[in-house]
Amino acid sequence: MNRVYNFSAGPAVLPEEVLQEAASEMMDYQGSGMSVMEMSHRSKVYDKIIKEAEADLRELMQIPDNYRVLFLQGGASLQFAMIPMNLMKNRVADYIVTGQWAKKAAQEAAMYGKVNVVASSADKTFSYIPDCSDLPISEDADYVYICENNTIYGTKFKTLPNTKGKTLVADVSSCFLSEPVDVSKYGVIYGGVQKNIGPAGMVIVIIREDLITEDVLPGTPTMMRYKIHDDAASLYNTPPCYNIYICGKVFKWLKKQGGLEAMKKINEKKAAILYDYLDSSKLFRGTVEPASRSLMNVPFVTGNEELDAKFVKEAAAAGFVNLKGHRTVGGMRASIYNAMPIEGVSALVEFMKAFEKENL
Ligand SMILES: *Cc1c(COP(=O)(O)O)cnc(C)c1O
């Protein structure tokens, strides 16, 4: 077996312990005589898996009792439509556009109502988070929307926007469970799990219970109503069973690491190793304003496209894979999610130093 250091933005690295455990349970899950992939989602065995996953997530994030946890399909992108369909009672929402994912969400919402872009960082290729302390929040806005960590551009909100009392909705796909959050500040927190938690195709939605109503936009499909999924405890139809099982294992792994406070410390340490080097390097530089830097996604460039390509190629040959930047921005990006060990980041920096010496 030859595992690489995988810096993919998503689907992304998972904890080796989790993969090994899943492998050992593949043919016979805990004496059931079958794989989790083969069992009924209504069976007793599976009921324990999904209930434990929710309980562990609640414990990790200290989710208050008046919030529901939904395990749904369609990835993060389906939420771009589900959110307006379920929450746009006045057909007005305010969006803060700090990158491509927020932009896509705003475009989707505009199919259902009036979308006001109340702040944006498009003027500087999304390399910073705008000041959101006093925005022109719309009087009749149903919610204010952010993408909390911008996977492509490598920025993160360090303080949440002042929504002036409006419901905050946040896409946390690429910072999910990377540090503690105060769930009570949000109306909806959601994220596709393939960045920091599990296999692609699933989204976790944490939603305050008063936002779950039957009053949705006309024509909202049954499968896109939060109420349907909440009433059925995420078992309205067959859920993404195996994904939920893997996510549950990752929750247990996170608890074993010491929970989200501990993860935050580790993630800060890992990110500092890379950013400190980028700040001192004469060849590489980070592309994000320091105050807005993400702990999870670190974009960087040499300033020379040919050299960037050479770096990506030589890094891959040395076992550091998926370092090519997003196709829309170029350069490099190292995604250093929870499951990336600190040794992986240190080894990458050593490799970058050697590359700098040879190519400067
Ligand atoms: C990857 C990503 C998405 C899209 O996720 P899908 O599961 O592919 O729909 C949305 N938002 C953010 C912040 C992402 O990083």
Catalytic residue among 166, 171, 249, 270: 171
**Strand residue runs (E) in 101-172:** 114-120, 144-147, 149-150, 155-156, 168-171
Instruction: Return residue ranges of the chain for CATH 3.90.1150.10.
Output: 259-359
Q: pLDDT at position 329, please? A: 82
Q: pLDDT at position 153, please? A: 97
CATH for the stretch 259-359: 3.90.1150.10
- Compute the distance between CA of residue 71 and CA of residue 251 in angstroms, rounded to an integer: 14
CA 259 to chain centre: 17
- For 137, the token pair is 């929040």
pLDDT tens-digit map of 148-183: 999 999 999 999 999 999 999 999 999 999 999 999
- Print burial letters for 270-295: b (CB count within 10 Å at least 16), e (below 16): bbeebbebbeebebbebbbeeebbbb
User: Residue 233 pLDDT > 80, yes or no?
Assistant: yes
Mean pLDDT of 118-146: 98
Instruction: Return residue ranges of the chain for CATH 3.40.640.10.
Output: 16-256
What whole-number percentage of the chain has pLDDT above 70? 100
What global pTM score does this model have?
A: 0.98
Ligand 1 binding pocket, CB closer than 6 Å: 10, 75-77, 101, 147, 151, 171, 173-174, 192, 195
Q: Ligand 1 centroid to 102 CA: how many Å?
A: 10
CA distances from 95 to 39, 50, 98, 288 (A): 41, 33, 9, 21
User: Residue 1 pLDDT > 80, yes or no?
Assistant: no
- The residues near 208 (Cβ < 8 Å, ≥ 6 apart) are 66, 67, 68, 167, 186, 187, 188
Run of H or E residues at 208: strand 202-208
Which CATH class name applies to 16-256?
alpha beta
- Compute the distance between CA of residue 40 and CA of residue 344 in angstroms, rounded to an integer: 39
Q: pLDDT at position 106, please? A: 98
What whole-number percentage of the chain has pLDDT above 90? 98
CA nearest ligand 1 atom 13, residue: 173
CA nearest ligand 1 atom 12, residue: 173
Active site residue 253: no
Residue 240: asked if its preceding bond is cis (omega within 30°), the reply is no
- Compute the distance between CA of residue 207 and CA of residue 48 in angstroms, rounded to an integer: 22
Q: Ligand 1 centroid to 15 CA: how many Å?
A: 20
